[in-house]
């Protein structure tokens, strides 16, 4: 079973993870999640694989997050809906395989995951 990398080509960390997969000869499927958008069910399944809550993959330093959401009390389900609606707020890259996965930031998380 191949790996899937949820990738943003403009993100340096995401490009580093992609390069690492290529260096290791790892077969993968690339999903540019800013173009091929998540729906709530798919992102929820990815979160289960990486064993993180929606709040743990939010890019909290993004100006948009700070301005629109940071000061509000939000449930995990509400945050999931926000991430689906505004995928640029998703921390990246995320790599999955079968029923497991990892938020590959820092890259060491991916290195450990591939062992």
Render each residue's pLDDT in the chain as its tens digit; 115 residues.
689 999 999 999 999 999 999 999 999 999 999 999 999 999 999 999 999 999 999 999 999 999 999 999 999 999 999 999 999 999 999 999 999 999 999 999 999 999 8
Distance CA 94, CA 52 (A): 11
Tell me which residues are annotated as active site.
Answer: 11
Question: pTM of the entire structure?
Answer: 0.93
CB neighbours of residue 94 within 10 Å: 27
Beta strands 94-97 and 3-7, pairing class: antiparallel
Q: Residues in the chain, how many? A: 115
CATH class of residue range 3-114: alpha beta
Cis omega (within 30 of 0) for bond into 54: no
Distance CA 47, CA 9 (A): 21
């Amino acid at each position: 079973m191949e790996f899937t990398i949820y990738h943003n080509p403009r993100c340096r960390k995401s490009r580093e993870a992609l390069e690492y997969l290529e260096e290791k000869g790892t077969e993968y499927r690339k999903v540019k999640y800013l173009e091929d958008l998540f729906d709530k069910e798919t992102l929820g399944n990815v979160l289960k694989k990486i064993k993180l809550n929606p709040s743990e993959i939010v890019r909290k330093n993004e100006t948009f997050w700070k301005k629109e959401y940071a000061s509000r009390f939000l449930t995990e389900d509400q945050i999931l809906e926000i991430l689906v609606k505004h995928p640029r707020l998703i921390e990246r890259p995320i790599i999955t395989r079968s029923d497991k996965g990892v938020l590959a930031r820092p890259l060491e998380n991916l290195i450990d995951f591939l062992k």
